[in-house]
Chain A
Amino acid sequence: MKTDYDKKAATEIILGFDNRPEMLVQILHAFVARFAYLGEDGVRQIATELNLSRAEVWGVVKFYHDFRTEAPGRTVIKICQSEACQAMGSRDLTAHAEKTLGISMGSGDRAHTLEPVYCLGNCACSPAVMIDDQVYGRVDTRRFDTLVTDAESQ
C-alpha cells in the first residue's frame, strides 16, 4: 500500500469503473486500498471526474466507517464489539488492547490503529479480531499479544 497521492493512478482507478457515478462507493474502496486513506486531493479529483460536487463525495466518504480520512498505523487491528463477542469477553479484550497498545479504541498512532468493528461473522468462535484483513477467532489476551507481535514482524 502506497500512501503518496498519485493523480495518474487515481485516474486509472476511476476509469476502471467507467467513470460511473453510481460506482462511487466502490471507487472509494479502491482509493483506500491504493492510497490508505482519502484526502482533499483524492476527493477533488473524484468529484471532477464523476461530475459530482465535492460535498457529494465528502458526504459519501463521511457516511461509511470504511473510508478513512487519515493515514492508519502500520498495523490495523479491529476488535469486534458486537453481542456474540461481548458474550465471550470482547469488552475485557478491548480494554487489554487499549492498555498494551497505549491507544484508545477508535484511534491510533504510527504503529497501530485500533478500530471497532460490528461483526466479522465469526460469532461461533468469538471473540473475533481482524488484523490487516485476516480474521482470527477465540482471541484471548495472550493470543492477541502474539498475533499483534506476529503482524508487526511481517
Chain B
Amino acid sequence: MSAADTIRVFVPRETAALSLGADDVADAVERTAKELKCKLEVIRNGSRGLSYLEPMVEVQVGEDRFAYGPVRPADIVDLFAADFLHGGEHALALGNTANIPYLKSQQRWTFRRCGLIDPLSVADYQRHGGFAGLRKAFETGSTAIIEAVTESGLRGRGGAGFPTGIKWKTVAGAQADQKYIVCNADEGDSGTFSDRILMESDPFTLIEGMVIAAFAVGASRGYIYLRSEYPLARTVLEKALSICKDHHWLGKDIAGSGFEFDIELHLGAGSYVCGEETAMLESLEGKPGLVRYKPPLPALEGLFGKPTVVNNVVTLASVPDIARLGADAYADYGVGRSRGTLAFQLAGNIKRGGLVELAFGATLRELIEDWGGGTASGRPLRAVQIGGPLGAYFPESLLDTALDYEAFAALDGMLGHGGVVVFDDTVDMAAQARFAMEFCAVESCGKCTPCRIGSVRGVEVIDRIVANENREENLKLLHDLCTTMIDGSLCAMGGLTPLPVRSALKYFPEDFAPTAGGS
C-alpha cells in the first residue's frame, strides 16, 4: 500500500468537539485500527461548524469526504464493522460532507477552509488558495489593496460594522515612525464563537489577513489580543505563528518581498470590556482596561499613541480572498450597504447549533428554522437575542427581519458579531433584563458614571418593578436611566446595555407584571 492509499480519518480538534469527547473518539479510532491491523492516518482537523453533529468524524474516500456524527467513543467498533473507512452505511452516517444541507446551503467565504484542512499544515493551506491573496497584494501594491478592500464593502465584523477600507486608508495616510495592526480576538459576546472556530480551524488565514493589512498601511508590528477563555485557540495560534516565522510568512523579508512584519500574541484576562478597542489598547500596554475618550481615533493615535488598525478576527480573515479573488467577488454577496457574508452563530436553546456563514439578506426565521431546526427543548420559541449581551431581544413576531445591519438598526437592535441566542417559552424576560444590567455592573470598566452607577441602579429599579413597588414611576425611571446610559456612556458597554433591557420591556411587558414573579 503506498502512502497515497493510506486511509485518512479526520477527527476535529476544536473546542466544541473536544467538549463532547473528540479526543476520546480519536483515541478509540487509533486503538481499534491497531487491533484490526488496519493502516490509517488520523488527522486532527478543525471544525466545519456543524456543532450539533460534533464530534463529527470524516473519512476521505477518493476525492470526497464522508461524515459520521455525532460520534461517541463507544460507536467506533461499530463504525469499523460498518466499513465506515470506505463510507459504509451506519446510523450515524451523514453522507458526503459537502452535500450535508446545513453546510451546502451556506455561502462560505471566510470559513471555507475550516474543517477541511489540517489547521497547522502550510502545504494544506496553500493547496486551498492560502497565501495567494498576500502574493497578489505584494504584486498590486498597498494602494490597490486598500481600494479593493474599500470596494468590497467589507465592514468590521466585530460588531460595529465600520467600513474596513476607510479605517485602513486613515492609518495608511497617517505619518508616523511606527504603526500597528491589532487583531481583536477578545470574542466575549455570549452566543458567538466564529472567531474561535476560525482561529482553531484555519489560523493561517488570520495571519495572512494581518500581513496584508500591515502591508497596506505600512505597519511593522502586530498583536493578536486573544481572550484567556480560549486555551485551545491560544495553543493553535502559538504554533501557527511559529510555523509562519519558520516559513518566512512572518518576520524579515516576507516571501521575498522585502516587507517586514511580526505578530505577538497577548492574552486577555477575563475582562469583557477589553473587547472595546480602546480598552484593549490599554490592556496591550499593560494597564487596566479602561476605555479611552474618542477622539483621538485609534487609527491616528492608537497603541502607544501610534496609528493603529484595530480589526476583528473575521474581518481580517475575510481579506485574503478579497485580495485573491477581487472586490467584486465579495461585494456580489449581500444587500444594500451590507455586502459580503456574515458568519452567524446559532446558540442557546436551538436544535442544530453551529456556524452558518451567509450572504446578508436572509431572514432571521430562515436562519433559526431552516438551519437551526427550532428549539432544542421542542418547546415554542419565545425570544431571540441577536448580537451578544448588548443586543436586543426579539419576539417571534420579528423573525422575518432581514439579516442586514440597517434592518436591525431600524428596529433598535443590532447584528453585532452575528450571535443568535434562542430561548424557549420558559424564559423569564424580566430576569434577562436584570441580567443585562447586572452583567454591565460586573464588567463596566468604571471610567464613566452612566455605565458604572447606572447599571447598578438598573438592577435595583428592575427589582422594584418586578416587586410592584411604585410600578409606574419606576418604569419611567428605568426608561430615563436607559436614556442617560445611551447618551452619556463613553463606549458601547454602557451605551448598548439598554438595548436588551428596553426590548425586553417593549416586547415582553407581561414578564414585568406584578404576577410574573420574577427571579
Residues of A participating in the B interface, judged by any CB pair closer than 8 Å = 20-26, 28-29, 59-60, 63-67, 80, 82-88, 91, 117-126, 128, 130, 133-138
Task: Give the residue name and chain of the B residue nearest to A138 (CB).
Answer: B20
Name B270's contact: one of A64, A84, A123 (CB within 8 Å): A64
Name B190's contact: one of A22, A25, A118 (CB within 8 Å): A118
Q: Mark B347-383, 1 if CB is under 8 A from A, else 0.
A: 1111001110000000000000000000010000000
In the assembled complex, B419 has its CB within 8 A of some CB on chain A: yes
CA distance A136 to B20 in the complex (A): 6
Task: Give the residue name and chain of the B residue nearest to A17 (CB).
Answer: B286
Query: Total A-B pairs in contact (CB under 8 Å)?
Result: 155
Name A86's contact: one of B15, B192, B272, B435 (CB within 8 Å): B435
Task: Give the residue name and chain of the B residue nearest to A29 (CB).
Answer: B267
Residues of B participating in the A interface, judged by any CB pair closer than 8 Å = 15-16, 18-20, 51-52, 54, 187-193, 195-196, 228-232, 266-272, 283-289, 304, 345-350, 353-355, 376, 385, 389, 419, 421-424, 427, 432, 435, 439, 442-443, 445, 519
Contact B16 A137 (CB under 8 A): yes
Name B266's contact: one of A25, A82, A120, A128 (CB within 8 Å): A25
B427 CB contacts on chain A under 8 angstroms? 87
Given contacts A64-B268, A86-B348, A121-B229, 19 further A-B contacts (CB under 8 A): A22-B284, A23-B286, A25-B283, A25-B286, A64-B270, A83-B348, A83-B432, A83-B435, A84-B191, A84-B419, A87-B421, A87-B424, A119-B229, A121-B15, A123-B190, A124-B193, A124-B346, A125-B16, A125-B51
CA distance A67 to B286 in the complex (A): 14
A119-B188, A137-B20 known; A24 vs B432 contact (CB < 8 Å)? no
Q: In angstroms, how far is the closest chain B Cβ from the Cβ of A103?
A: 19
Contact A125 B353 (CB under 8 A): yes
Contact A123 B191 (CB under 8 A): yes
A118-B188, A123-B191 known; A88 vs B376 contact (CB < 8 Å)? yes
Contact B347 A126 (CB under 8 A): yes
Contact A63 B19 (CB under 8 A): no
Contact A26 B266 (CB under 8 A): yes
Closest 7 CB pairs of A and B: A124-B353, A82-B190, A65-B270, A87-B348, A123-B347, A24-B286, A64-B269
